[in-house]
Amino acid sequence: MKKILLLIAIVLPMVAFAQPRGGQGMPQGPRGGQGGPQMGMGMANPQVTAAKEALAKAVADSENAKKAGKAATWDKVYDAAMAAYKLPGGNLLEGATREQVALYLKGQRVLNQGGTFTGPDGVYSVDTYADKKLYYSPEGNLVFWIVTPVEENALDIAYDAIIKSAQLNPKGKNLYNKVASINEAYSTDASFQYLYGDYAKATELFEKAANSTKNPVLNTIDSLSTYYAGVMAGFSGQNEKAVKYLNECLDMGFYNDGSVYPNLSNAYKALGNAEAAKKTLEDGFVKFPENQGILVGLINEHMSEGGDPTALFDLLHSAQANEPNNPSLFYVEGDIYKKLGDVEKAAYFFNKATEIDPSYVYGILNVGILYYDTAVELQEQAANELDDAKYAALVEQFNANLKAAIDPLEKAYELADEQDVKVAIAEYLKNIYFRYRTESPEYMAAYEKYNAIIKGE
């Protein structure tokens, strides 16, 4: 149920599209984050008063020696703690409109509507209530919320209570679902704290999510929360903790498409351990040569050592020798040369990738993107060039590269078998043909063809 919220990707002109690769991700879930700005829920609210009193009574009963030995006592603590935890968020659902939220919250008054908030993942409009703030996307859908908790440690109390209940009665009703719901709540709150920009709080909550499955009831490992705990620890400057959790991921064989390695490398580097940082990237490259985080990290490492990426190519050529029919390994070599600014070699290896496997669309596609990107760079240079002769030369190179992109993009379009890939390629071709549409009827017809594809006609 955990979805990806945070992505680190290479964004190409017009469309975010390139060779598949690993990235970082943050989950989001259906409930509200707790522990944010205090907005004065207040003792005057009768529901809050009742929830606090119910929880206080249940906890007091659990401290009675006679009652503490009964699973039912701890079940009541769990129920009261979860009721207190859920109270501020009500029935809120991620993706809801303001009209739907008004129904969910049953007449709760908005104190202020329409403020803005910029978080690590975007800009949101904010609705403020007495006990919470709701953050909406530009399209008007609820993305996350931060509440003033009725009881700061309600989830911790609920978790401890249900584990105690399970110890007293291992066959108790719905134990698995109850513990799993706490794990989900920790994870959801953690992702909301990430969106809010509180990385330290997100780290703490992801730690709790990871630990909440290590019990006889669930008896499993929450590898994703372990990974996020490491990532958030790195974001918040807790690099020793980041190293701890990310190494745990490697030990359990959880790599997240290779993204564990660049995050772990960054943590080592922040701790001043350059040797471990580099070795981590090299180890990751062996397993995930296509991961852009690893690749960019290795290029930076080797270029910082004097500008010679020979060792990086040695690693790649060794992988190619072991898998000579793996087109993605040759795609990666083309990608390296592109990042190093060698257009000719980049085009050669992108082409070679598709030659090795004629069904491998990313090779020929990135030949077209390579020429397109080069044309964009030349256009920017020409716009800033004051010398007429140099300007004319840059324009000539611009046109040559832009037209050189047509053939590989056309071939990629025919080769692609996924509609979203075809549409992405069509966007490039539409823009190119639009520029040259007056040069010939063929160019105009091609422009109209790809423009219709973009429009879904």
pLDDT bin (cut points 50, 70, 90) of residue 106 is confident
Q: How confident is the model at residue 21 (pLDDT cuts 50, 70, 90)?
A: very low
Q: Is the pLDDT of residue 307 over 80?
A: no
pLDDT (0 to 100) of residue 321: 87
Q: Specify the range with the lowest mean pLDDT, choosing from 34-38, 101-105, 223-227.
A: 34-38
At 300 the pLDDT is 77
Tell me which residue of 49, 30, 36, 43 sits closest to 148, measured CA to CA: 36
Is 206 or 14 the better-scoring residue by pLDDT? Answer: 206
The residue ranges of every structural domain in the chain are 31-195, 343-455
| Average pLDDT of the chain, as a whole number | 88
pLDDT digits (tens, 9 = 90+) for 308-322: 677 778 878 887 888
Checking if the pLDDT of 88 tops 90, the result is yes
Q: Which tens digit of pLDDT belongs to each residue from 372-397? A: 999 999 999 999 999 999 999 999 99
Does the pLDDT of residue 14 top 60, yes or no? no
- Structure confidence at residue 308 (pLDDT): 63
pLDDT in tens, 166-210: 999 999 999 999 999 999 999 999 999 999 999 999 999 999 999
Mean pLDDT over residues 75-102, rounded? 95
Q: What is the pLDDT of residue 33?
A: 58
Which residues have a Cβ under 8 Å from the Cβ of 101 and sit 6 or more positions away? 92, 127, 134, 142
Residue 6, pLDDT score: 32
Over residues 243-247, mean pLDDT: 98
Residue 32, pLDDT above cutoff 70: no
pLDDT single digits (tens) 328-376? 889 989 988 998 889 999 999 999 999 999 999 999 999 999 999 999 9
What average pLDDT does this structure show over 431-450? 96
> Taking residues 436-450, what's their average pLDDT?
95
- pLDDT given at position 206: 98
State pLDDT tens for residues 35-71.
554 444 444 588 999 999 999 999 999 999 999 999 9
Average pLDDT over residues 213-236: 97
Q: In the chain, pLDDT over 90 holds for what percent of residues?
A: 76
pLDDT at 114: 80
pLDDT at residue 11 tops 70:
no
The CATH architecture of the domain made up of 343-455 is Alpha Horseshoe (1.25)
Residues above pLDDT 70, as percent of the chain: 89
